[in-house]
Amino acid sequence: MINALYIQAGGGGINPGVSPNMGAPWVQNFLQTFAGQIIGTAIVCFVITAVIGLIVWGGSKMFGASAGQSMGIQGFIVSLVAALLVGSIGGAIMWFSGWNLFG
């Protein structure tokens, strides 16, 4: 069915000539600032939870609590991975869409 639709469209696809415009005042002023603040706050929260995870892991290691050790290291790893993913959102959007978000 997809091949039939492709053939009906002329074999080369359709280009409507529309491109995204990131120059709207509410995008550059409000949305970019707001999104940046949310991402920055999320990264700070992830770093705090990673530190808490390391403290739990270290304390459990000192006192021999194996359940606390596994929970602490899991919390650290999850926080680290989440911070890396949230921190790479801007680059991923720029790479997948081709938009120049930082210039």
CA–CA gap between residue 26 and residue 20 (Å, rounded):
14
Residue pLDDT, tens place only, 4-42? 555 555 556 677 777 777 777 777 788 878 888 998 999
DSSP string spanning 35-97? Answer: HHHHHHHHHHHHHHHHHHHHHHHHHHHHHT-HHHHHHHHHHHHHHHHHHHHHHTHHHHHHHHH
- Average pLDDT of the chain to the nearest whole number: 83
Confidence at residue 61, expressed as pLDDT on a 0 to 100 scale = 93
Q: Residue 86 and residue 71: Cα distance in Å, rounded? A: 22
Average pLDDT estimate for 47-69: 94
**Six token digits for residue 40:** 């920055």
